[in-house]
Amino acid sequence: MSSFLKMSLVLRRANRVNQSAMRGLCSQAQELERSGMVLPNVAIAGVTGAVGQEFLELLEARKFPFANLKLLASARSAGKKITYMGKEYTIEEMTEDSFENVDIALFSAGGSQSKKYAPAAVDAGAVVVDNSSAFRMQPGVPLVVPEVNPEAIRAHRGIIANPNCSTILMNVPVWALHKEVPVKRIVVSTYQASSGAGAEAMRELEQQARDWVEGKEEVKQDIFGRQYIWNLFSHNSAVCLETGYNEEELKMVKETTKIFDEQIPVTATCIRVPVLRAHCEAINLTFAEPMDEARARSILENAPGVSIVDDRENNQFPEPLMASGKDDIFVGRIRPDLSQPGGYGLELFIAGDQIRKGAALNAVQIAEQLVQNARDDATEGVSVGIKQGSEAVFSRGFSTSAPEEKNED
Ligand SMILES: NC(=O)c1ccc[n+]([C@@H]2O[C@H](COP(=O)([O-])OP(=O)(O)OC[C@H]3O[C@@H](n4cnc5c(N)ncnc54)[C@H](OP(=O)(O)O)[C@@H]3O)[C@@H](O)[C@H]2O)c1
């Protein structure tokens, strides 16, 4: 039993505190320390990548409570040193033995690595929060956007999946509206940044810009196999020959139904644009009852994780640069869909940082909720810690044989 597993026992001896009042005053780490709880050990799998780097920034910025941190990547990065929060860490090669004493493993090393190593992490007793698509649609794996279905976290059996980035960005504002007036149909078009395909894709876009400035006849095009700068193209995930939809589009369709826990017809068109960071989406909604613009605006203004940028006079609306490095999803162009009579239709345009809210931030929010759940349960004396139900999870039917995917953002 790792130290964090023992925390509920420790906590039962701790003084009860007014949690909501405490939350307003101090970080989760301070709360845990004050209540006498043992802090969890955390591993980041894929720490050198675009999402992994964001994890480091967020854990520090949000004062995520941890005792020890393990930084994992491939053999290419093993041995490299990182100074983080005043301490030197050495990156280790991820192996099946990497997860001893780890309580929470934040995975962002790609789907095939998740399939290979997440079972080992769970067997070692960790709860995995996985950014890849490896387990998202598996029964028994909660697929969580904390603003939408935080309660699903409790049902985990060792793995919690972070949804696809475009899906997360769409679901946060749409859910806020859907809670008030049911959404009957979603039509979405995405404008996706290079960083959605990882740090190398981001570097390639920058390289193409340099190549172009230097007047090279051909720009470097290893990642997407085409010129990206001054161009845009249909998302690089595999296209289903039968339906014509690509995998990214199908993720938005299927994952939204799982997260909302109800059938919502979604149709998506996903496009890569030569933007470094932050995705945009044009979202068209059809409601079961009329949803007027003023009501939609008021709902979105009060929605967690949403900021409104909607200045018609000055033509100021959400943009990727505005959203880059920000937690919130920026929503604008809020207007009735004039093609749907009776006020049943609404148009939105959003921008959100898909490395942050579309990946790392969403996963860290899940991890924070895991810690909070364990703390709440321990206060009530009903739980054994965050790993509840995770033992031998893979002998209980998780599949690691889902098809390989070239791109999984
Ligand atoms: N980028 C996004 O916007 C986004 C959004 C949502 C979800 N995701 C998901 O998050 C995951 C990571 O994406 P990313 O954009 O951060 O990719 P990335 O920048 O390409 O980084 C990949 C990371 O995985 C590590 N890795 C690769 N092979 C490995 C191996 N055999 N063993 C251990 N580590 C290995 C790499 O380590 P080395 O540096 O040592 O090679 C690197 O740290 C993917 O599953 C992706 O689908 C990404």
Residue 330 maps to which CATH number? 3.30.360.10
Q: Buried (b) or exposed (e) across 339-361, using 16+ Cβ within 10 A? A: ebeeebbbbbbbbbbbbbbbbbb
Which residues surround ligand 1 with Cβ inside 6 Å?
A: 46-52, 73-74, 76-77, 94, 108-111, 113, 131-132, 165, 195-196, 198-200, 354-355, 358-359, 408-409
User: Do 151 and 266 reside in the same domain of the chain?
Assistant: no
Q: Quick one: pLDDT at residue 23?
A: 41
For the chain, give me the number of helices (H) and strands (E)? 11, 15
407 C-alpha vs ligand 1 centroid, how far in Å?
10
- Res 390 pLDDT > 50: no
Compare 22 and 333 and report the one with higher pLDDT: 333
- Res 394 pLDDT > 70: no
User: Do 72 and 215 reside in the same domain of the chain?
Assistant: no
The number of angstroms, rounded, from the C-alpha of 41 to the middle of its chain's C-alpha atoms is 21
User: Do 300 and 380 reside in the same domain of the chain?
Assistant: no
409 belongs to a structural domain: no
Going by alpha carbons, the residue nearest to atom 1 of ligand 1 is 196
Identify the band that residue 387 occupies on the pLDDT scale cut at 50, 70 and 90: low
User: Do 330 and 190 reside in the same domain of the chain?
Assistant: yes
User: Do 196 and 342 reside in the same domain of the chain?
Assistant: yes
- Res 7 pLDDT > 50: no
- Classify burial at 3, counting beta carbons within 10 Å of its beta carbon; exposed 0-12, middle 13-18, buried 19 or more: middle
293 belongs to a structural domain: yes
Global pTM value: 0.90
Identify the band that residue 35 occupies on the pLDDT scale cut at 50, 70 and 90: low
- Res 2 pLDDT > 60: no
**Average pLDDT of the residues in 117-137:** 98
375 C-alpha vs ligand 1 centroid, how far in Å?
31
202 C-alpha vs ligand 1 centroid, how far in Å?
13
Q: Are 183 and 287 in contact (CB under 8 A)?
A: yes
- Does residue 156 have an active-site annotation? no
Q: What is the pLDDT of residues 310-355, one digit of tens each?
A: 999 999 999 999 999 999 999 999 999 999 999 999 999 999 999 9
E strands, 108-161, where?
Answer: 127-130, 159-161
- Res 45 pLDDT > 80: yes
Domain, as residue range, for 129: 4-163+357-396
245 belongs to a structural domain: yes
Identify the band that residue 386 occupies on the pLDDT scale cut at 50, 70 and 90: low
407 belongs to a structural domain: no
Identify the band that residue 217 occupies on the pLDDT scale cut at 50, 70 and 90: confident
Q: Quick one: pLDDT at residue 95?
A: 98
Q: Quick one: pLDDT at residue 13?
A: 26
- The residues that bridge with 81 in the sheet, in sequence order, are 90
405 belongs to a structural domain: no
94 C-alpha vs ligand 1 centroid, how far in Å?
12
Q: What is the pLDDT of residues 69-120, one digit of tens each?
A: 999 999 999 999 999 999 999 999 999 999 999 999 999 999 999 999 999 9
User: Do 390 and 335 reside in the same domain of the chain?
Assistant: no
Q: Quick one: pLDDT at residue 38?
A: 84
- Res 27 pLDDT > 90: no
For a substitution probing ligand 1, which of 48, 168, 353 has the most ligand atoms within 8 Å of its CB?
Answer: 48
**Cα–Cα distance between 114 and 102 in angstroms, integer?**
16
User: Do 213 and 267 reside in the same domain of the chain?
Assistant: yes
76 belongs to a structural domain: yes
**Average pLDDT of the residues in 274-301:** 98
Query: Which backbone phi and psi does 93 adopt, to 5 degrees?
Result: -70, 130
User: Do 290 and 191 reside in the same domain of the chain?
Assistant: yes
Compare 31 and 245 and report the one with higher pLDDT: 245
Q: How many domains does the chain have?
A: 2
- Res 62 pLDDT > 70: yes
Q: Kindly state the tokens that stand for 39.
A: 């802090």
User: Do 315 and 372 reside in the same domain of the chain?
Assistant: no
User: Do 293 and 307 reside in the same domain of the chain?
Assistant: yes
User: Do 122 and 194 reside in the same domain of the chain?
Assistant: no
- Does residue 279 have an active-site annotation? yes
Between the alpha carbon of residue 57 and those of residues 32, 84, 199, 225, 362, the distances in Å are: 21, 9, 16, 31, 13
**Average pLDDT of the residues in 203-217:** 95
**Average pLDDT of the residues in 395-406:** 44
User: Do 134 and 255 reside in the same domain of the chain?
Assistant: no
Q: What is the mean pLDDT of the chain?
A: 89
150 belongs to a structural domain: yes
CATH number, domain containing residue 27? 3.40.50.720
Least confident range from 119-123, 210-214, 258-262, 383-387: namely: 383-387
The DSSP secondary structure of 48-78, one letter per residue, reads TSHHHHHHHHHHHHTT---S-EEEEE-TTTT
